[in-house]
Structure 1
Amino acid sequence: MCVSTSNELTDGIDDNSFGPVVLASIGSVMLALYFYYVQGDKQRGQFVGFWPVTILALASYFRLEEIKELLADDE
């Protein structure tokens, strides 16, 4: 079994990969608030309000897959 430091494991991971994901999530929250309060379309606002959770969950999944591949390559 090979023991690696955290720096060795994170060298292949881009630290800014969540940038666009976070912006998309914030944008969808703003869009949901716009639909809910400004346009008065509460159903659409609630529907769009679920998007940030889905976007962040998918980004987390892909990030974990990337880490899993790096760990598998390390062995």
Structure 2
Amino acid sequence: MSASTEDVAADIDTNSFGPTAVASLASVGLALYFYYVRGDKQRGQFVGFWPVTILAFASFLKLEEIKELLEED
């Protein structure tokens, strides 16, 4: 018998402010530093894309975890 949706929802970690969010916020700060403080606009824009990539990868991993929980017996 596969896991019900309620069981999967209960098993998923609900910590929304974990290392992923900290890394994303830190990279936003770093991008602002490069862009405004150091005046290196190109590097600031490059680093500014990091939060999106970090959050997308974390979402992918979370969806894989959910998929595995739904598929296990």
Q: Note whether the superposition's TM-score is higher than 0.5.
A: yes
Instruction: Indicate the RMSD between aligned Cα atoms, in angstroms.
Output: 1.9
The answer to whether the Cα contact below 8 Å between 2:24 and 2:50 also exists between their aligned partners in 1 is: yes
Q: In 2 relative to 1, CA 39–3 (structure 1 residues): closer, same or farther, beyond 3 Å?
A: closer
Q: Which residue number in structure 2 is paired with residue 4 of structure 1?
A: 4
> Where in structure 2 are the equivalents of 1:28-43 lying within 5 Å?
28-43=27-42
Deviates more, 1:9-18 or 1:34-43: 9-18
Structure 2 length-normalised TM: 0.87
Q: Which residue number in structure 2 is paired with residue 25 of structure 1?
A: 24
Higher RCO (CA-CA < 8 Å; seq separation 6+):
2
SS where residue 11 of structure 2 aligns? coil
Give the paired residue count.
73
Following the alignment from structure 2 to structure 1, what is the Cα–Cα distance between the partners of residues 2 and 60? 25
Percent identity of paired positions between Structure 1 and Structure 2: 70
1:2 CA drift (Å): 5.5
1:10-44 deviation line (CA, Å, top 9, x unaligned): 23222226511001000000000000000000000
Following the alignment from structure 1 to structure 2, what is the Cα–Cα distance between the partners of residues 3 and 16? 22
- Unaligned runs of 5+ residues in structure 2 are none
Following the alignment from structure 1 to structure 2, what is the Cα–Cα distance between the partners of residues 58 and 18? 15
